[in-house]
Amino acid sequence: MTKTKFTVIGAGHGGKAMAAHLGLLGFSTRLYNRSMEHIAAIKELGGIDLAGLNGERREFGRLELVTDNMEQALDGSDMIMVVVPSSAHAELARHMAPHLKDGQVIVLHPGRTCGAIEVAKVLRDNHCTADVTVSEAETFIYASRSDGPAQARIFRMKEAVPLAALPATRNRLVLDCIHEAYPQFIDGGNVLQTGLNNMGSIFHPALTLLNAGWIETTHGDYQFYIDGVSPSVARVLEVLDRERVTVGSALGLRTRNAMEWLKLAYDTSGADLYEAIHNQEGYYGIKAPPTLNHRYIFEDVPCSLVPIASLGDRFGVSVRAMDAVVTLANIVHRTDYWRRGRTVDKLGFSTLSVSELTAYVNEGIREE
């Protein structure tokens, strides 16, 4: 049986870790980055030195191709693993559109909220006629960092990561294709389910903005989840979380609340969210972002909070707390994340009913 051929898009810490690991596992792996300068050392070496899988011992993940040429990167690949900030998904899809071929599978790592829906629409709008499957992971499988220009380190891998395809009838196809390399991926239902279970939408933007003074004064020199989550801040997070779960309910979905997620992910519980967060030992020692110009705002607001709030507005759910956080982000960053973000209008389903949207994500049925 021929092994799956992978292309990893993006050479940040996550992309480097994934490409190196796939190379180590013996898969034909290509690495694409839009800037050759960023990957020149990897190209010269022919791969990436990886640490962490076997203690401190470094191992070499050989790569078949390291390139800034999208056509070369995608040619002959079975699985296209997209490991770039979700705010770059749309632009990346525009670059991929002319080069995609029938049968290829795109996996967004992760999709945040409505990532697969956005990418599929951009491909259609850019006249991509290839029969490709767009899918998304609920979260990134690795905890990793970059150790140098051609070095990466994996701290740990998650044991179970939900994944969904668009439409959900192709979930099994994607899981079968990826299973040889990543048995950790499990059926995530559909892409609305994976997107609405995006806990970063709740924890990241509000916690950063409500600690803006502390971040700017200390440059992030405090414990983000411990010192930054006071009882009042936790109450805001609880309201945001209730809004997210209610949006899911309006779409006929049962989504995990933050307390359930903490129990599932970390076996942590408490009388309320404040106590549960403070009972999570893994949060101790994690520093805050050093600046407000951070992905917790510029990625998680337009690609996580905006689409959830927009879905709430479309289907009659009050999302006043989410609206307030987006407004604060607009003021702090002097921008308009409603205009830049993934709204139902931009995603192309502002006129769909719940049943029509469900038919689209589950079966691919869509009235144009």
Give catalytic residue positions: 204, 300
Residue pair 93/126 in contact by the 8 Å Cβ criterion: yes
Are 218 and 208 a contacting pair, CB within 8 Å?
Answer: no
Is-contact 6 106, C-beta < 8 A? no
Partners of 61 in beta bridges: 48
Measured distance CA(360)–CA(356) in Å, rounded: 6
Q: 206-244: buried (b, 16+ CB within 10 Å) or exposed (e) per residue? A: bbbbbbeebbeeeebeeebbeebbeeebbebbbbbbebb
Closest C-alpha among 272, 274, 289 to residue 223: 289
**Which residues touch 96 (CB under 8 Å, ≥6 apart)?**
70, 74, 80, 106, 123, 128
Tokens of 106: 């795109």
The two structure tokens encoding residue 235: 């109450």
- Please give the Cα distance from 164 to 190 (Å, whole number): 5
